[in-house]
Every structure is written in C-alpha cells, then in structure tokens.
Amino acid sequence: MQWARGMNALTFSRRRFLGVGAGTMAAMAATQADSVFRGYGAHAGVHDPCTDGRVVRTVCELCFWKCGIQAHVLRNHVTKIQGSPLHPLSLGRLCPRGTGGGGLAHDPDRLVRPLVRVGPRGSERFEAVSWEVALGTIAEKLEVIRRRHGPEAVAMFNHGAGASWFKHLFRAWGTNNIAAPSFAQCRGPRDVAFDLTFGAEPGSPETLDIAASDCLVLIGSHLGENMHNTQVQEFADFVAKGGDLIVVDPRFSVAASKARTWLPIRPGTDTALLLAWIHVLITEGRYQREYIERYAQGFDELARHVAPFTPEWAAAETSLDPELIRSTARRMGAAAPAALVHPGRHATWYGADDTQRSRAIAILDALLGAWGHRGGIFVPAGMRLAPYPTPPYPSARPAADRRPGEAPFALEPIAQGLRRATLDSDPYPVKAWFVYGTNLIQSLPQKAETIRAIQSLDLLVAVDVIPAEIVGYADVVLPEASYLERYDDLIGLSWRRGAVALRQPAIPPLGDSKPGWWIAKKLGERLGLGAYFPWRDIDDYLEERCRRSNLDLATLKRDGVIVGPERASTVEEGLALSFHTPSAKIELSSERLRERGFDALPVYRRPADPPAGFFRLLYGRAPAQTFGRTANNRQLGELTHGDRLWLNASAAARLGVRNGDRVRMINQDGARSEPVAVKVTQRIRADCVFLPHGWGHTARGLRYARGKGVDDGDMITRVDVDPVMGGTGMRGNFVSIEREG
C-alpha cells in the first residue's frame, strides 16, 4: 500500500465534511452547525454559524514563535483558532498560519499509521504496521548500530517544541549528535554575533522593545511578510505612532512601504552600510558616549577601524545615496537609546560574511545604547522550571559535526556537518538518522548531498505529522499526533515577564497517531532506557514538574499559560546591566574572535556580482507560510500563495517575460528549476529575483502541495560556509531566466 490515510478523511471545510460525512455523525453535526437563526425578529436571516465551541487554551506550532491560542472544538473538530488573550505573545490576536492551524490537524494527507518502507529509499512505498512492529524494528536496528559503531553513530535532527522528548531520549542513549537546521541554516550567525558582543543572544522570541522605540532599522527583515505575531503587533503600533522606520532591502517589502526611508541596497553589501553608519555615529559624536564608556570595551580600536568607511565609500559599494546614509545614521543617533537595529532572524546569507555582518549590527546597537534600554533590546525575565528527576546522561563523544578547529564559535551542533560526517565517517561513522519535525530534504541546502548521505545510512527514522519529502526516505515512519492533539513538555518563555505555557490536546489524536512523549517513552523502554522515563504518563510527568516548580497544573490547563511577576527589563525600569562576556563588558572589538584568528572587528568583503545574464537569487517569507511545513495546509491554501518568482519590470521587459508567464531558473551550476509563474513588479532591484520559500514539494503524499511553486533549495547548489560558526550562506547563487515555450 501507499500512504495510509485517516479513517475520517476530514477536510478543512466543515461544509464539505458535512456533505461527505457518514450517517449519524453528519446529521448530528448538521443540526448543530447549519442554519441556526436566532431571534432577530423583522431582521430574520442573520445567520449564526455556531463556531464557538468548547475552548481549549494551548500553544500554537505553526511556527516557532509559540503563541498562546484558543482552539474552538465542536464534536472533535477544530472549527476555529484565535489568539489567547492571556498569553503575552498573542495578546488575543493571531497570524494567518495560526488561524489556519485546523488545516494541519484535519489535513486528509496526515500520517495516521506507523509505516515500514518496502521499496527503495525515496520510493515512498510503505507498509502499515503496528506500533509494536515499528518500535521493535527501530530498537533492533539501533542495537545493532550501537554494537558495531557505538551509540554516537546515531544522529538526531529536530525542530520545534515537541522535540524535547527525543532530545532527552538520545542524550540518554549516549549521543551528542543532536542538531537543528534552525542554527546553521538560519539564526546561528546572529546568535553567535550577539553572544560575542553582549554575552547573550537576542532570544527567541527576540526581546525587542519595538513599540516603545523611536527609530527602528530593518536589515532585510520583512516584518509583516514574516508574521511573528507579537513583533508584528508592536511593529504596527510603532508605525501608527509615527516611529522613524528605516528599511534596508533590495525589495520594496511591505515593511519598506511603511518606512520613512527605504534603502534599496545592492544585495550582499550590508556590512559596508553598517560600517558607514558606525563611522558617522562615531565621527560626529552621535553615539551614547556615557553608555559606551561605562559598559563597553574596544571603542578606540573600533573608531580607528571605521575611520576609512565614509558614507561616500559605502555609497560606491551599496549603490545608495551617501547623504541618505549620513542622514539615516543621524536619525538613529537622535532617537538613541530608544533606537534599535533589528538583529534579524534568518541570517545565513553570504557565509563568510554572516557573523561579521551580525556583529556590525550588534556594534551599532551598542553605540545606540539599545541593549537594556526602553525602545531598544530589553533584558528578559524567565521562570524557574524544575526538571522531573532522571538519571544523569552517560558521557558521550563530542559531536561529529566539526573537525578540530572548524567553526569554533558554533553554539550548537551543525546540521550539515552531521551530513558530512555521515558521508566521510570523519571523525567517526554516523549510521542512523532520527528525524523529528524537520524536512531535511528542504531544510538543508544541497539536496543531492543530503540524499547521498541518506542512502548511506543503516537506519532512517522520521517522526512527523504529514508525509513531507524526508518521510519518503525513511525506513520507519512514526506518525505523531498533531499539536492540537497532544501534550508537550512545559514551554518556558523569556519575555518582559517570564511565563510558562502548556500545549494540551483540543481533540483526540487522528487514527493511530501518538503524542511524542508516548513515542519517546515506549522507544526508550525498548532500548533499556526506562529509568530515563520514570513517569507513568504525561499527567504524572506534568504534575510532578509543576509541583517541583511551584506551578498549579489545573491553572495551566484552564488558562494555557501562567505569567510570572513583573520585573525590570530595562534600565528605565531600574534594571542594572551586566554582560556575560569574558571582560564583563560589551565587546565592541572581540578578543575571542582575534584569538581564533578571525577579524576582531567586522571587515567588509565585496560579494561577487551576478555574471552577465544572471540574477542573484533571494528568498524569504510569505505571510501564510512557514518553511515548507504549511504548503499542504488546505486552509492556508485559500490565501495568496506567494509562490511566484519576483522579477523587476524592466528586467522582465528585456527578457520578454510578462506577468504570470511561466519560466524556469537555471543557476550558475546548470541546475534547472521546475516552471514557476513570474510576478513582474517594480518592487525589486533589477539585479536580483526573489522567491518565497517553502514551495516546490515533490512528495506524493502531499497531494495538495505537490507541484505548487518551486523550491529555492533546488537552485542553492553553492553554499559559502561561515568559518566562525559553520552557517551555510545560501544567497551566493545566481539564476538566469528562461521562458517556457
């Protein structure tokens, strides 16, 4: 058989469900949800569709922001989802993806039975088996791998809050090869740069005091197209109060359209602009002098370093007006310390330059006094969460992702490094991948390498909700209950006030899918790791953790969140600043980088220009999509797909391409894309094209997403690795455009 499907093939539309549903259930539901007219007298015809069901307060999983939500449930169907008014990240409001979460839970393509592969890897041919057989098969193969190669021959890749059970399982098993593409393929450079500079990361969610800021600078961050709920809420307040918004982007993004100044920069030259801004702030004395004297070290070296980087110098690199570079720096300085250069999130752009570019942002934020000030970057409060006691983890060999001396500042194992070690067994063999919630075929660049590594494995296990591409390569597929159907571990939030949130089921698991906590415990017991899973069930686990953390589980279940006490998060509120760097100061110049042979201060390196006839390929977000995870969501499919390739209007005219035409991209290495529709627009420079990320699915099981749009990953055959932390810069790829006959 092919993909096992749910017995209740619930589609996203209740109406259609009612139409095709079987017998009594449909009839009962129809009474409930159809044609309810309330007493409106002369104005009959006001129809109440009755979508207000039983409300469950839980935590969203449509992206990593983890907003609190209210799921309305009628007869085991999630009819609608709202932002929880009690949760500090949603404040009663929600983005489109979270609103469409029911489209994930009720996806007719859901994985609902454990599967064992029967065809070659990647053939997507499976046989449905019992959990007994699935877990037994995995345990048996893992034991063989342990005997032959040791426990560290198992690598675990993950994304999302639900991964905690499996991280625990594999630490107990004895491997350090636990990686998330969210580091080396996404926010890693930024986290490392802020850690090197301030001794702390900007956090997730980023602790940005946007609403209180007077000047906000976005470097490629397209708030509003990436819909991080709280941040977009604050962004709208900032815009509404007339805050000074400066947007640097080769594309006229939604955020750029709201800016006082849009700087359509030549892609890849951001560091030049940042150095020039630093130059202006320092040479004109517009930085926060007292703050720098008190909290920072390395200022004199910085001042000498940036002396040559005048706006005129930067203008030649960035293609921007030097006077505009100067005046925007002055505006930041005037607003400081209530001024903020957004640290960004997806920062793996150009490889060699990425940590250094993020360092330049951090230095600029330091000169503006942003860290710790109102309207800048606030210092969050957390809440103490005691663990459920389990035995200590066994000691394990260092992760295989890096060779000695490689990427010394990586804060987490590097996902593509584990792929490399799988292929060359250096420093030791990696023979099994356990993949939770991340579609490695799309989330790692250089797809062919990933598939080659997979074909060399002794075991590939995928835990997922939908049959993404990675699932098609797995030997054993474990169907997880969706986020609306399961408990997860307590979710801590570091924010203005700390908080703890609970993900809890609104509806029962579909088919034979199981929650992650159950899967990890059952597999752990089969692997002889039962001592690491001493809890009877999830209630026992949560009760005990709450008891030890002084939290009331009943309150958590009722409200979905418990918010901690008020605490000062800025200097204005009485916070005393401290910095967890070696010098206990903000490190403008970084001795740590210097010691390892890197530039102690950011150096600009000019990026390669696109060859004649080529465009630089940029990619980013569309508001209704998160990575490739949402493309099969039929509710979100009702919104603007954003799966078109943006092409500048004059470039399009030169190529004879009209709006809506289908084209193929051919990259510098000859890789050809599937056909994609073009959005001809004035809203982008003529030297680059822009493709929203997350489309181009090929998995047969994703019946809805398959064939829609193209995957930017197919064009990312070249990757420049950041030597500081191992990030994969993915914007060094160029494409030419060929019209489809």
Partner 1 sequence: MRRVMIIDESRCVGCEACVLACKNENDVPEGMYRDWVTQEARGTFPELSLSIRSERCNHCQDAPCVTNCPTGASHYRGDGTVQINRALCTGCRACIAACPYGARFVHPDGYVDKCTLCVHRLDRGQGTACEEVCPTQAIAVGDADDPTSEVARRMRRASLYVLQPEAATRPNVAYVR
Residues that bind partner 1 (rule: CB under 8 A) add up to a total of 65
**Burial class (CB within 10 angstroms; exposed 0-12, middle 13-18, buried 19+) of 448:** exposed
Phi, psi values for residue 226, rounded to 5°: -95, 120
Q: Does 93 bind partner 1 (CB under 8 A)?
A: yes
Q: Among 2, 13, 76, 204, which residue sits at the site for partner 1 (rule: CB under 8 A)? A: 13
* CB 652, min distance to partner 1, A: 12
Instruction: Pick the closer one to partner 1 by CB: 10 or 196.
Output: 10
Q: Among 225, 464, 488, 489, which residue sits at the site for partner 1 (rule: CB under 8 A)? A: 225
Instruction: Pick the closer one to partner 1 by CB: 242 or 308.
Output: 242
* CB 135, min distance to partner 1, A: 37
Reference 73, options 33, 107, 31; nearest CA is 33
Question: What is the C-alpha to C-alpha distance for residues 400 and 150, in angstroms, rounded to an integer?
Answer: 13
Binding letters toward partner 1, positions 604-623, x by CB under 8 A? -------------------x
Instruction: Pick the closer one to partner 1 by CB: 258 or 279.
Output: 258
Q: Does 211 bind partner 1 (CB under 8 A)?
A: no
Instruction: Pick the closer one to partner 1 by CB: 81 or 115.
Output: 81
Instruction: Pick the closer one to partner 1 by CB: 102 or 333.
Output: 102
> Cβ neighbours of residue 705 under 8 Å, at least 6 residues apart?
628, 631, 632, 695, 697, 699
Q: Does 261 bind partner 1 (CB under 8 A)?
A: no
2 contacts 128 by C-beta, under 8 angstroms: no
Instruction: Pick the closer one to partner 1 by CB: 49 or 660.
Output: 49
* CB 33, min distance to partner 1, A: 7
Question: What is the C-alpha to C-alpha distance for residues 683 and 528, in angstroms, rounded to an integer?
Answer: 58
Binding letters toward partner 1, positions 44-63, x by CB under 8 A? xxxxxx-x------------
Question: What is the C-alpha to C-alpha distance for residues 454 and 37, in angstroms, rounded to an integer?
Answer: 57
56 contacts 504 by C-beta, under 8 angstroms: yes
* CB 564, min distance to partner 1, A: 24
668 contacts 614 by C-beta, under 8 angstroms: yes
Question: What is the C-alpha to C-alpha distance for residues 517 and 530, in angstroms, rounded to an integer?
Answer: 13
Q: Which stretch binds partner 1 (CB under 8 A): 79-87, 271-279, 466-474, 534-542?
A: 79-87
> Cβ neighbours of residue 146 under 8 Å, at least 6 residues apart?
153, 154
Q: Among 38, 147, 576, 741, which residue sits at the site for partner 1 (rule: CB under 8 A)? A: 38
- The C-alpha angle with vertex 654 and arms to 648 and 657, in degrees rounded to 5, equals 70
Question: What is the C-alpha to C-alpha distance for residues 102 and 11, in angstroms, rounded to an integer?
Answer: 10
Q: Which stretch binds partner 1 (CB under 8 A): 156-164, 232-240, 355-363, 530-538?
A: 232-240
Question: What is the C-alpha to C-alpha distance for residues 677 and 662, in angstroms, rounded to an integer?
Answer: 4
Instruction: Pick the closer one to partner 1 by CB: 583 or 681.
Output: 681
Instruction: Pick the closer one to partner 1 by CB: 233 or 355.
Output: 233
Question: What is the C-alpha to C-alpha distance for residues 12 and 635, in angstroms, rounded to an integer?
Answer: 6
328 contacts 261 by C-beta, under 8 angstroms: yes
* CB 682, min distance to partner 1, A: 5
* CB 614, min distance to partner 1, A: 19
Q: Does 233 bind partner 1 (CB under 8 A)?
A: yes
Reference 113, options 508, 483, 509; nearest CA is 509
- Diameter over CA atoms, the chain: 81
Instruction: Pick the closer one to partner 1 by CB: 81 or 361.
Output: 81
Q: Among 220, 264, 311, 509, which residue sits at the site for partner 1 (rule: CB under 8 A)? A: 264
Which residues are paired to 223 by β-bridges? 226
- The C-alpha angle with vertex 270 and arms to 733 and 368, in degrees rounded to 5, equals 150
Q: Among 129, 223, 440, 460, which residue sits at the site for partner 1 (rule: CB under 8 A)? A: 223
Q: Does 102 bind partner 1 (CB under 8 A)?
A: yes
Binding letters toward partner 1, positions 672-701, x by CB under 8 A? ---------xxxxxx---------------
Range list of H helices, 35-187: 96-99, 102-105, 131-149, 164-173, 181-182
Instruction: Pick the closer one to partner 1 by CB: 262 or 487.
Output: 262
Q: Mapping DSSP to helix (H, G, I), strand (E, B) and coil, where does residue 483 land?
A: coil
Q: Considering only residues 619-648, where is the footprint of partner 1 by CB under 8 A?
A: 623-624, 634-636, 638-640, 648
Q: Does 252 bind partner 1 (CB under 8 A)?
A: yes
Q: Does 33 bind partner 1 (CB under 8 A)?
A: yes
The distance of Cα 39 from the centroid of its chain, to the nearest Å, equals 47
Q: Does 289 bind partner 1 (CB under 8 A)?
A: no
Reference 81, options 110, 55, 107; nearest CA is 55
Q: Does 659 bind partner 1 (CB under 8 A)?
A: no
Q: Does 224 bind partner 1 (CB under 8 A)?
A: yes
Q: Among 14, 279, 431, 693, which residue sits at the site for partner 1 (rule: CB under 8 A)? A: 14
Instruction: Pick the closer one to partner 1 by CB: 499 or 622.
Output: 622
Range list of H helices, 150-244: 164-173, 181-182, 188-198, 229-240
Question: What is the C-alpha to C-alpha distance for residues 317 and 260, in angstroms, rounded to an integer?
Answer: 22
Q: Does 99 bind partner 1 (CB under 8 A)?
A: yes
Q: Among 56, 86, 95, 381, which residue sits at the site for partner 1 (rule: CB under 8 A)? A: 95
To which residue do tokens 């079987």 refer?
Answer: 22
CA dihedral 358, 364, 365, 368 (to 10 degrees): 180
Binding site for partner 1 (CB under 8 A): 12-16, 33, 35, 38, 43-49, 51, 79-83, 92-96, 99-100, 102, 223-225, 227, 229, 232-233, 235-237, 239-240, 252, 254-255, 257-258, 262, 264, 623-624, 634-636, 638-640, 648-650, 681-686
